[in-house]
Structure 1
């Protein structure tokens, strides 16, 4: 008997402290396209010389419990991943109902992630899991997708799943390029003026494995987060409006950007970048057939960008 990806369910719960779940954890069923979550082991071979030419074997010296979760963006489905990457939580305004998530909080939350192959009864538990990097990307055609890179500090294969009473996955529709209703740079819409063709948002917490002697585990028992790098890349058509942005690479004046997305049910997300530096204008080469474009590469500096959410 073998299994397929459709036999595997992933659950995620926020921890009280690294590797420790609350007394009553809240388990979420995670929507995803694919994942690469697994434990990997690194081996070191012996260099000993004895009275034969045979290899003298190897030992397990290090390992990791990591992977990447790929998803299609849909309302409420990835919020726990957004919060994990941001180091903060959504805070709802009681008057407007709009929730705001500030990116770049002082400390990343940790999670327990359970990957359960129900057909084979194969259970993998990743504890102390942090989100090192999160991406969201969209194009002029197709789905808006993203990924979250996971690094855990503990791994187990229990016979019984720790998951109880999991919340069902939200059934909100996944979003596509048609759902992008706002794309502004410096407060001005790019529609009909600079024509944005694609975008990628990246939050990178620069996690570093810091294993300790005496831990007696091949899995690193701690990760530390470094400086958070928040980037926005966007491809736009070279026009009268967009050519005015090229000097920003040299001047280092800051810019702003806003991307709004709303699904067919009225659930909406906004991605707000209040202080961007343009690191590369990415001007395309010239040929006989293609439009000139700018592959803009921005970096958010000094202040927190935000994600806003309003639920229908």
Structure 2
């Protein structure tokens, strides 16, 4: 899966760039954002009506998702040759106002512009990954991308650590299944009404979940996504994205770092899957940091990187129209 050629850049307006930002990943493809846009400024708001209260009790996933959308906007504006100034959490009295991005005179961010070719190609790929090593140069590149946004990306190496992270993932799955409302939310976002333009369609979900403890993906209701008939053992790399602190801005910036990591990996020809389940419970989050990673940091997301055994490109999951996310 070669890196794509650079496609034409986005249109020249802020509204065009926000349209591209809507391709960002989000928890269950819930797209929990609203935008207020004028000619030279865009304000990003969290949409509380799209928060998954049982899956995301402390708004972590909502803020990470919105941070990814914010970074996608930065990439689109940089690709259009536009310089920007971004103020995060500008109003302490309005916790839903997450960022204000203003077009300014000055050069575009070249590093962000370089990620543009990956933005239309990025997919959450839940297929089995081949037992093919991810090059060290790619791991260095994605680690540097996270660091550029103030986050740490820690690849999980060694059998002991991988077994530890698999145990944390299995524990989170077991505990969440017992939480009132969790399964109802899962069904809501995997069985959307016709024309919803959100959620996880059947063709993006595996035909059957991996047996408990044998795979990192969340156990979704069975779908139609298959790998090749003779799939080898699960390969790829799991990497944990962490921040030094755990406030709202840290979670927002973790989402920006997540977007940068995913786009950097896709640019290098990898498939990617963001995994949040182990971080949605305080107990498993603590175990992951203390007993598996041995770090004094706050895990915010796990990223799965690798080469799918089936190299056919997946279609894009549905997205709401730009008009549906614009605030009056």
Q: Tell whether the structures are fold-level matches, with TM greater than 0.5.
A: no
Relative to total residues, which structure has the larger strand share, 1 or 2?
A: 1
Higher-RCO chain (CA-CA 8 Å, sequence separation at least 6): 2
Tell me which interval the TM-score lies in, with the shorter structure as reference length.
under 0.3
Tell me the TM-score normalized by structure 1.
Answer: 0.22
Relative to total residues, which structure has the larger helix share, 1 or 2?
A: 2
Structure of larger gyration radius = 1
Tell me the TM-score normalized by structure 2.
Answer: 0.21
